[in-house]
Chain A
């Protein structure tokens, strides 16, 4: 029988203690995998986001701090007076020099509101949009079902919003007491729009008593798109001359959000490192107690001819196998936790994908935790004399 087989047989014999160790390893691996996968998802979500904006310039209220915008920049708390729109258009036109260059302005009004959708009221982001200008700016915006609204009391639902609440065409959603008929279902774009309710701009303003206010102004212009210096000049000019607003290029916007997410995830990563350290310490304690309860077994193995290196092989194989299994269980658990986190909290909408590099990281972390926690007690016990192992009361 090989030494490794001896080690594996022992894992199965000590099911309870092996399981206990396994749990202690699975937890940090799962948390680490969750953080890494979420980081990865946030990264691709933001890349998608930058490419999906389709806008040259984004203007939002000055008071909107980075930490108050949600996943893709939906600010539902601060507003800009609508009159600013003309002023911004005027300044952009002066900067681009060519008066024939077309400027498309898309304004949106956002509000977090409980919406009666299907049987239940659910917290939703209601977007007041001008469907005509939206489609002009984003011709790729398409419906999977139905048509674009033609009346003030019609709405379009994000694909995920409709499917998750089992809402079909011609059903009604009630926003702030007013019923809207579902005219169309939007195609999923893996963005927060998949989770929104879109209704005519003016109607939504009225519903929330915010006529004359907008949440965000998006500008589309070919000249600015082509010339980054010109775009930067426009951003600076608007920020300098129009009070209480912040103009950003989509790139800046993404960077801003990315920085926030990165900071958050770095913080979480630090927590994970601390968790791993605490886990290693607790695994160390468990291992020490388990190993000390095996001192007589070590004495027996030595007495039948096991050398120190053979003992190290047996015990390290045993605990490294547990570490490896911990990594193998921890990673899928991390995937599941990422899915839950994304579905119920972050809503990055990028889906959960297996990342082979992170599988490797999870396995290595599992093995590392196990090795770091077990190597010292194993080393120490492998040095114990046969006579001491039988003389001493080591039972743990």
Chain B
């Protein structure tokens, strides 16, 4: 199924994913086709084991499909070498994982700037550190700049992950259950931040969630069940539906 309302940023064509486990072959995704546009906030929903995380990993080139194609801005990325993918991911993607806590030995600002320990930002004017501070402040953590992760709440930790995702100016953010384990206020803060970022910074954001209240604030909801694409639902007025 395809839903192309704007400029196609990423395209999945007939993607299948199977895992060879000790007890046999497991199909995680079956014939999934999907288009994601720039400035779009897409929510992947479905019960546990429906293939949300697998789909997210394939979109983000963290995993390769067993069959099918993944095309990003005209380039087929599922056939790139691991080395090429590292460079590709640095430029295009940022990831937010449910379990990926900030590094405990670095403070909030250092964690935000962590990606630049591994590569130099391209075509960036201005001071990266100052930009990091601005991003952290915009997420309401201005008073926590030099605090260590152990001094932060769950909601604040997730905001650090968002700040770290934003600092590289990615074309797409992939967030796996970013609101799990957060209270309602923090969940809403995260989804509203994503909405704002996708529109203001031209970022495509794909998140997986169980939470329909969160999913209903996205531009689109992609429903999955047992690895099969069920429905691609466009939300006309996302905040109105809540």
Q: How far is the CB of B108 from chain A (nearest CB, A)?
A: 14
Which residues of chain B from 177 to 217 have a CB within 8 Å of any chain A CB? none
- Interface SS of A by simple majority: helix
Q: How far is the CB of A310 from chain B (nearest CB, A)?
A: 5
Please report the number of residue pairs spanning A and B whose Cβ atoms sit closer than 8 angstroms.
Answer: 67
Q: For the complex, what is the distance from the CA of A6 to the CA of B117, rounded to whole Å?
A: 9
Q: For the complex, what is the distance from the CA of A12 to the CA of B106, rounded to whole Å?
A: 11
Q: Is there contact, CB below 8 Å, between A304 and B115? A: yes
Q: Is there contact, CB below 8 Å, between A386 and B62? A: yes
Q: How far is the CB of B87 from chain A (nearest CB, A)?
A: 9
Q: How far is the CB of B149 from chain A (nearest CB, A)?
A: 10
Q: For the complex, what is the distance from the CA of A156 to the CA of B94, rounded to whole Å?
A: 85
Q: Kindly state whether residue A3 has any CB partner on chain B within 8 Å.
A: yes
Q: Kindly state whether residue A10 has any CB partner on chain B within 8 Å.
A: yes
Complex contacts, A9 vs chain B, CB 8 Å: 105-106
Q: Is there contact, CB below 8 Å, between B117 and A3? A: yes
Which residues of chain B from 109 to 125 have a CB within 8 Å of any chain A CB? 110, 113-115, 117-119
Complex contacts, B117 vs chain A, CB 8 Å: 1-3, 6, 306
Q: Is there contact, CB below 8 Å, between A387 and B62? A: yes
Q: How far is the CB of B239 from chain A (nearest CB, A)?
A: 30
Q: How far is the CB of A269 from chain B (nearest CB, A)?
A: 40
Scan B80-107; emit 1 where CB is below 8 A from any A CB, else 0.
0001001001100011011111011110
Complex partner residue of B105 from A13, A307, A387, A390, CB under 8 angstroms: A13
Q: Kindly state whether residue A139 has any CB partner on chain B within 8 Å.
A: no
Q: Is there contact, CB below 8 Å, between A12 and B95? A: no
Q: Is there contact, CB below 8 Å, between B97 and A390? A: yes
Complex contacts, A13 vs chain B, CB 8 Å: 104-105
Q: Kindly state whether residue B3 has any CB partner on chain A within 8 Å.
A: no
Residues of A bordering B, CB below 8 Å: 1-3, 6, 9-10, 12-13, 296-297, 299-301, 303-307, 310, 385-387, 390-391
Residues of B bordering A, CB below 8 Å: 53, 57, 62-63, 83, 86, 89-90, 94-95, 97-101, 103-106, 110, 113-115, 117-119, 164, 168, 176
Q: 16 interchain pairs (CB within 8 A)?
A: A9-B105, A9-B106, A10-B105, A300-B97, A300-B100, A300-B101, A301-B118, A304-B95, A304-B114, A304-B118, A305-B86, A305-B89, A310-B118, A386-B57, A390-B98, A390-B100
